Amino acid sequence: MRILAIDTSCDDTSAAIVENGRQILSSVVLSQTETHRLYGGVVPELASRLHTEAICGAVERALTEANTGRSSIDAVAVTCAPGLIGALLVGLGFAKAMAFGLNIPLIPVHHVRAHIAANYLAYPDLEPPFVCLAASGGTTAFIFAKDYTAYRFLGGTRDDAAGEAFDKTARVLGLSYPGGVQIDALAQSGNPSAFRLPHPELADNPLDCSFSGLKTFVVNLVHHAEQTGTPVCRQDLCASFCSTVADMLVPRLIEAARMCKVKTVSAAGGVAANTFLRKRLETACTAAGLRLCLPPLSLCGDNAAMVGAQGYFEVLASNTAGTDCNAYATMEI
């Protein structure tokens, strides 16, 4: 089954052609970063307008690069939630028109399900059950993938997402948006033990975590240093920050695997591209005797190929929709 997939959930206009949920025939990601960088973060209305300008070209390119005519497309998959509502509606409206015009199924896809499905593209033999750390700009959650379309939320952040903490920390350090990649780069030459940063334990659910305290601590630390004229080594602070995020996420993912009695764990989302996190996951999983699946960096951030992968399994589960399908800013997995 050949699926045309579309993702416009945030600030990338993406289109892809994916075969049988496992093989990428083309993947086009048109980034809006240069525009949003001027404002230090994503401006939702601008994102919607830029998606509207880019969507036709992105889909045409995806079809051309996959050497696929419209008549060879079997279904259209599209991110319908969660995300920026105006941005989502651009992709959804386009997908509805394509599916209606070609008389093929429309498959609404949950964005976090899609991030998890990036692992099916990277590991063609991977099958549920497994647990996944989904960590991006809007999500930080430990998810039990019981089956291709059945999930259990095990725990996650009670406030900010890890990616948001990365972006806010980057901003206070004078790094441009999106900050995660730049913090990662600076951290490579820093000392991860230089700063002791908070990583709270929360009562009730051992898999719940919190990033707002860490974010505020770093913001206050930098402001205080500025006011007192104390120099802050950005490399050391970035390394300490990355190390603290890994301290918060890695043991929880290992615990999630133990709780769900699975031998495979994975990570997904933009933050899963973080070098510290990836290394720490590798070390911890080896020690715990777990198989670790980590998508390549190109499949960690937003892309439509992952939507095409998940879309395939949604079709198999008969999860298709009509043209009355709507987009939602939030939605449980």
* Interface ranges with ligand KG4 (CB under 6 A): 10, 136-138, 163, 166-167, 178-181, 184, 269-271, 273-274, 301-302
Closest approach of Cβ 258 to ligand KG4, in Å? 26
Q: Which is nearer to ligand KG4, 151 or 166 (CB)?
A: 166
Q: Which is nearer to ligand KG4, 8 or 136 (CB)?
A: 136
Q: Which is nearer to ligand KG4, 102 or 331 (CB)?
A: 331
DSSP states along 58-97: HHHHHHHHTT--GGG--EEEEEEESS-HHHHHHHHHHHHH
Contacts of 181 (CB under 8 A, 6+ apart): 273
Cβ neighbours around 226 below 10 Å, total: 12
Among 310, 254, 318, residue whose Cα is nearest residue 116: 310
Closest approach of Cβ 227 to ligand KG4, in Å? 27
* Dihedral, 58, 309, 92, 177 alpha carbons, nearest 10: -60
Angle between helix 162-172 and helix 179-187 axes, rounded to 10 deg: 70
Q: Which is nearer to ligand KG4, 167 or 208 (CB)?
A: 167
Query: Bridge-partner residues for 150, per DSSP?
Result: 147
Q: Which is nearer to ligand KG4, 179 or 308 (CB)?
A: 179
Closest approach of Cβ 276 to ligand KG4, in Å? 8
Q: Which is nearer to ligand KG4, 21 or 301 (CB)?
A: 301
Q: Are 135 and 249 in contact (CB under 8 A)?
A: yes
Cβ-in-10-Å burial (0-12, 13-18, 19+) of 230 comes to exposed
Q: What is the DSSP letter of 321?
A: B
Closest approach of Cβ 307 to ligand KG4, in Å? 12
Closest approach of Cβ 186 to ligand KG4, in Å? 11
Closest approach of Cβ 29 to ligand KG4, in Å? 10
